Amino acid sequence: MQKRILGKDRLEVSAMGLGCMGLSFGYGPATDKKDAIKLICAAYDKGITFFDTAEAYGPFINEELLGEALEPFRSKVVIATKFGFKEGKPTVGLDSRPLTIRAVAEAALKRLKTDVIDLFYQHRVDPNVPIEDVAGTVKDLIREGKVKHFGLSEAGVNTIRKAHAVQPVTALQSEYSLWWREPEQEILPTLEELGIGLVPFSPLGKGYLTGKINEDTKFGDNDFRNIVPRFSEENRKANQSLVDLLGKMAKDRNATTAQVALAWLLAQKPWIVPIPGTTKQHRLEENIGSADIKLSADELREINEAIAKIEIRGARYPEQMQKMVGR
């Protein structure tokens, strides 16, 4: 797989990473540990060198999973993890106090079975802690050799600029896909100006852009999508035209709907590295295959013109969670 560079401090990663949250958290029961390790190792064997986790995924069990799975080839991969929630639990609230950041770093190092965190993100901006203090704390951790690179997640433009002035930000992680293009308005121009990479999570719209979800789909009891407005039955039905468009283009290219969606994302900027997640080997192979699909200028224009005529329905987060993004 080709490599891409994140940030001015040039963090080299595979052109596509693996988002590991769903193996432990968010989309139903956790994957069997042996199966999860097998999938992570398969991703590495197929060229993925960029793996994304967080203390909040579980909490803690996803980091432990990655620590065990990646230990045999730790020196050849990049691990990103995150701090920012009280007790590692999003439902408890935010906590990016310097002492907490340090404590999370020490605990993550042990769970990940490593002596350094390659990319350490603030998971969500904490309005009670100046971002300068957050960036300064990570800067100290970098100086001490415990962290290599600093990242932000779902931060707004002002926060990005303030943090970057204290400690250069290597990457911003935010949702970005054909289903959610808001970052194009302010975020992408700011990242390009400052030389910061973008790591889109949910690049397949939490599964919707695979074409395997429709208005009749039923999610498990502990599946996060049950509370996402965009995944209500009526909104799934209303948004079907987007998936139909991608499906038509995919058929013309002998590809899948998901592959076209990921290829579109990779074509936007050379410093964008999506991290689709999956629990299935065949989906992993499908996602990786999208890195070999090169959409022409005419195809990209066709997609953009068609998308401009489609009104996407439904918020991407419940109201309370939406308040925590873009600060």
Tell me which residues are annotated as active site.
Answer: 57
Helix H or strand E segment including 242: helix 240-252
Residue 26 CB contacts under 8 Å (≥ 6 apart), including other chains: 57, 223, 224
Tell me whether the omega of the peptide bond preceding residue 29 falls within 30 degrees of 0, making it cis. no
Alpha-carbon dihedral angle through residues 125, 128, 129, 131, given to the nearest 10 degrees: 40
DSSP for 37-100, please give it.
Answer: HHHHHHHHHTT--EEE--TTTTTTHHHHHHHHHHGGGGGGSEEEEEE-BGGG-TTT-B---HHH
How many residues are present in the chain? 327
C-alpha to C-alpha distances, 76 to 12, 13, 50, 89, 165, nearest whole angstrom: 11, 10, 10, 30, 30
| Distance from C-alpha of 201 to C-alpha of 56, rounded to nearest angstrom | 15
Angle at 52 between CA 192 and CA 246, to 5 degrees: 65
324 token code pair: 């925590």
